[in-house]
Structure 1
Amino acid sequence: MSGGKHSKPRRSRPGGGGGGGPRPVAGDGGRLPGPLLRRRAERHPTLVPELPFEGRAGAAVGTAGCSFAELDRRARAIAARLGTLLSPGSRVLLVYPEGPDLAGAFFGCLYAGMAAVPLVLTTPGAVHAVPRAVQRCAPDLVLTGTDGWHALDVDRNRTRVVEADGVRVGGEPVWRLATQWRPVGVLRGAPAYHCYHDDGPAGGRLEAAMCHGDLAEVMTELAQAIRLGTDEENVGWIAAVHGLEEAVWRILLPVRVTG
């Protein structure tokens, strides 16, 4: 589940996890992941973000196999919907397999100024861990693309569930919601991501939040590693040391290094 094959303890960094904001990093240029995707979509709408690695059999190309413009459209639609339901800073559990729906949901949380907690499914129907994740993470909302096919075991009186994919978000067309999105001022030190580890019947663990600035720092380091010729396995190891699970760095890094 979460953590990926390279999972390691997160290295402590001054100011990380939203505790006062990240330290400045030379060359970062304020490239927070959300605003960076917006710029990529404006300048290179048809370009597909991808990683310079070969041979990951069975995986989608790059972030999600879709263009910057499509990824941005999905993110704006989800952010617009979230903005009508929750306040910035809310925690959102993402129940998806890897792919465009997970990527759009993750960036949608960043656009909305909310903290994403991915629960990455091995298959669309592998939802047995959802009740544990809801109990441990106490999300304000669950985003999923599977509820219409495999009903999630969630108490809807306590936790709202919204279905979101590339066509509709909460029953509304993505194209319409995307036009309704308005940017939210997001601070570098605001919570952006929690890594959740499912420990099976024993329960699960929710890591401290990484802020938007933390994500920008790690992406800058990983991008530099790629420029120096670091292979895929070691890029994943570096990400894990910083507390990023595999599905998340595979969403963020292609946007950082493409374009």
Structure 2
Amino acid sequence: MFDLSGATSVSETMRRHAREIGDRPALAIVGTPVDRATAQWLTYAQLDQAARVFAQELRRACPIGSRVLLLHPTSAEFVAGFLGCLYAGMVAVPSSMPGRYRQDQRRVLAIAEDAEVGCALITPDEWDEVTTWVEQEGFTMPVLALRVDLTRHADDLDVFPADLQTLAVLQYTSGSTNDPKGNMVTHGNLLANAASMATAFPARDGRMYGGWLPNYHDMGLMGIILTPLLAGYGTALMRSCSSASGSQCMVAFGLCICWMAILAGILLHTPAAVPGVLIGAVMPLSFGSNVFASADSMPGWVQAWVNINPVTLMTEVNRALLLGEGDVTGPLLGGLAWMAGFVAVFFPLSMRAYRRRLGR
């Protein structure tokens, strides 16, 4: 881990990494975990090069100090665009895509209006979707569609001399319960957070951070992307489609288990009692699984339960799908049997309890 205590800005730190550890892998964008050859890799020097090119294009479109709306899927373009904003002396405003649902479009509109964005940065793949949304909402801001191109250079760019107090990013809440609320995050805030997280969660030599949280999410941006980049570890980001199959299995499992929660909600007299009962029911499933420790490290009598535990089985399915290693069929069939059992038991009991309650 690099010592971040004396760092003056995020941009200065990334420029230093480009000079001192330029050949070290900084970023991997993973499409299909089964085939590692499909991953897109950038070293610290290449990421710095891409960020400088993005910064140069941003300066041509917007004045220094502008707020830049970042509308990207998980991609190298998002990371280069975010750093490009800081190199250019602008403020990054990460957001989800407008999408086709009105509630998603309202969220992005609220962020764009509240942040008073001066331009939007996207990849060419999102051009049609974003420009259609911009025209519908009556925005006149320029939209820049940039892709990471390592044949381009911007060596003559003067990186903005930011300090610890310079505003770096406007990080917005989800807006699920109200309008999104923006938080003003400085270079100093980002560096302090990265130093704290890297100290608490150090990576072993040669290992990177990794995850698939959305890049506009605070944990995705500051925990999975910026912390390992600033600490010198590098990060591997998985596109959402890579984890879709595993996520679908977990959602299906959760929907089957929820009938147990429905039954508890019907039978118990107070809402406060429901979580207590559910925690008591879920604890043996969660802590009696191999999620936190390998079954081989447990006593033999515990292993018998752990190996057939539905949480263990669904965890094995997810690990196999994400890593491209291990057996999927056996754990999946076992998990499906448990799901069918949960529904077969708790669905009729819930419906019976519901009808009795209506008859009171």
Is this a same-fold pair by TM over 0.5?
yes
Amino acid at match of 1:36: T
Instruction: Report the CA distance shift for 1:112/1:249 in structure 2 as closer, same or farther (over 3 A).
Output: farther
1:73 corresponds in structure 2 to: 49
Gaps of 5+ in 1: 1-25, 52-56, 168-172, 237-242
1:113 corresponds in structure 2 to: 89
Give 1 or 2: higher helix fraction.
Answer: 2
The superposition leaves residues 135-176 of structure 1 with CA deviations (integer Å, 9 ceiling, x where unpaired) of 343211110114434343114762221111213xxxxx9714
Amino acid at match of 1:142: A
When normalised by structure 2's length, the TM-score is 0.50
Q: Decide which structure has the larger Cα Rg and report it.
A: 2
- Answer yes or no: is 1:247 the counterpart of 2:227: no
Q: Secondary structure at the match of 2:24?
A: coil
Mapping for residues 96-135 of structure 1, pairs under 5 Å: 96-121=72-97, 128=105, 130-135=108-113
- Answer yes or no: is 1:93 the counterpart of 2:69: yes
2:25 corresponds in structure 1 to: 48
Mapping for residues 178-257 of structure 1, pairs under 5 Å: 178-199=154-175, 204-227=179-202, 244-257=218-231
- Answer yes or no: is 1:164 the counterpart of 2:152: no
Relative CO higher for 1 or 2, CA cutoff 8 Å, sep ≥ 6?
1
Q: Secondary structure at the match of 1:97?
A: coil
Distance 2:194 2:167 in 1: 16
Q: Secondary structure at the match of 2:127?
A: coil
Contact 1:73–1:174 under 8 Å retained in 2: no
Distance 1:45 1:66 in 2: 10
Displacement of 1:130 in angstroms is 3.9
Displacement of 1:133 in angstroms is 3.3
Distance 2:155 2:190 in 1: 27
When the two structures are aligned, how many residues end up with a matched partner? 208
Distance 2:127 2:194 in 1: 34
Amino acid at match of 2:119: L
Instruction: Report the CA distance shift for 1:137/1:87 in structure 2 as closer, same or farther (over 3 A).
Output: same
Amino acid at match of 2:191: A
- Answer yes or no: is 1:150 the counterpart of 2:150: no
Contact 1:198–1:205 under 8 Å retained in 2: yes
Distance 2:97 2:11 in 1: 24
Contact 2:8–2:164 under 8 Å retained in 1: no
Displacement of 1:31 in angstroms is 5.0
Distance 1:246 1:39 in 2: 23
The superposition leaves residues 93-134 of structure 1 with CA deviations (integer Å, 9 ceiling, x where unpaired) of 1000122111000100111121111114499x9984544432
Distance 1:195 1:147 in 2: 22
RMSD of aligned C-alpha atoms? 3.6
2:115 corresponds in structure 1 to: 137
Contact 1:79–1:108 under 8 Å retained in 2: yes
Contact 2:13–2:230 under 8 Å retained in 1: yes
Gaps of 5+ in 2: 234-360
Displacement of 1:228 in angstroms is 9.3
Q: Secondary structure at the match of 1:104?
A: helix
Q: Secondary structure at the match of 1:227?
A: coil
1:6 corresponds in structure 2 to: none
Instruction: Report the CA distance shift for 1:164/1:215 in structure 2 as closer, same or farther (over 3 A).
Output: same
Q: Which moved more, 1:34-43 or 1:127-136?
A: 127-136
